[in-house]
Amino acid sequence: FGQVSKSKKSQVLNMSPINQVIEDIDTAFTITIQVANYDLHKAGILHNISLGNANYELPKIKRAHFFNLLVVGGTFFLGLFFMLTVLGKYFNNRLFYFGLLIASFGYWKGAVAKVYHYFFPNWDWIWSLRIEFISIFLFNFALIRFINSIYPEQNWKPFVHFAQGL
């Protein structure tokens, strides 16, 4: 979906997945795939390329998207539920950090599975990658804070502060 170029300035990044159905063709044809990525050290194709019968491949892809969306939505909203317990009378920082842990994992899982790019096909690729990395850091931060809130006496404080800063 992007625009392949020979320089970083003129490329247009877009990683929206595409499913192309080719009608019945009696002659041979050539498939050309052009990939350019100057922003990451690992360049290449993000999604697997599969050729096959559209009656078999498309339902399989839709089923995979459904299960990814189910996991992402469940974990993200469960995390939000636990995070919103701080607004009620049962405030507990353990629940808040657990909710932050679950919500950041849910967002990260959706970003890895590229669920969001099916709903927002023109979303900027660099921003989605940055938010994905932020969710990983937030996951690690919430995990350390959650463990520290459960076992406050057993943790070595300099290590906890170092891990949170890292």
Q: What DSSP string runs through 88-148? A: SS---HHHHHHHHHHHHHHHHHHHHTT-HHHH-TT--HHHHHHHHHHHHHHHHHHHHHHHH
Q: What is the pLDDT of residue 14?
A: 67
101 within 8 A of 74, measured Cβ to Cβ: no
pTM over 0.75: no
> Per-residue pLDDT for the chain (166 aa), expressed as one digit of tens each?
667 777 777 777 666 667 777 777 777 878 777 776 666 666 666 667 777 777 777 788 788 888 888 988 888 888 888 888 877 777 778 888 888 899 898 888 888 777 777 777 777 777 888 888 899 889 988 888 888 888 888 877 787 778 777 7
Q: What is the pLDDT of residue 36?
A: 66
- Listed residue (131, 124, 81) closest to 101, CA to CA: 81
User: Rounded to a whole number, what is the largest CA-CA distance in the chain?
Assistant: 73
